[in-house]
Amino acid sequence: MLGVFSGRFAVFMSFFFIGDIISLNVNLYFEKNDKFKDLLPITGDDNYIYTKNDLSLLECAGSCKFCAGFLYNSGSKTCHLLKSLLNETSFNRDHVDIGWELYESLNETCSHRFCCDAWIGASDQVKEGNFQWTNKENVVFSNWMAKWGQPDNYLDEDCVAVCLNGQWNDHRCSYLLNTICEKTVS
């Protein structure tokens, strides 16, 4: 009988502490950010990966495997998965939408709190510091994460990946990531 009681108590306590940090069995961790409570981003389409309805808080968190975080409304049971972390300029504080809570990802799949998981076809394998596309054309436009000192060639990083915030990071070419390809439309 004591084992059943302690198990139920543990489940109760898990839900009691969920307000600050969510931890799922699949090693996903999220921290609640009350700074933006009851607010939605000004341009949702720019911030959301996709939106789901009729989900619990745990179901919403569980669907956020490679996102920067999520917005959840317990009243409408609506879940917005985020492409990148939100900041002060993402919100209009004059427009309040009651019930929204922001949870930011603390997952190891995102380094420096952003995910860079898609190759874009550029590298400096031929000459260090001279980035070229796979067709050997030099990279003219770039969008490096200068705030984080990218590109930094850390541990011989030569290939370029795009992050969820749209900026670029150099990675080791041996990493298995998604690939973005360019196709001519006729």
The stretches of 33-103 forming alpha helices (DSSP H) are 44-47, 57-62
Return d(Cα 41, Cα 61) in angstroms, integer.
19
pLDDT digits (tens, 9 = 90+) for 112-164: 445 677 889 999 999 999 999 999 999 999 889 887 788 988 888 999 988 87
Q: What pLDDT was estimated at residue 23?
A: 57
Delineate the domains of the chain, giving CATH numbers in brackets. Answer: 21-105 (3.50.4.10), 116-179 (3.10.100.10)
Tell me the sheet residues that pair with 142. none
Q: Check whether 81 has a pLDDT greater than 80.
A: yes
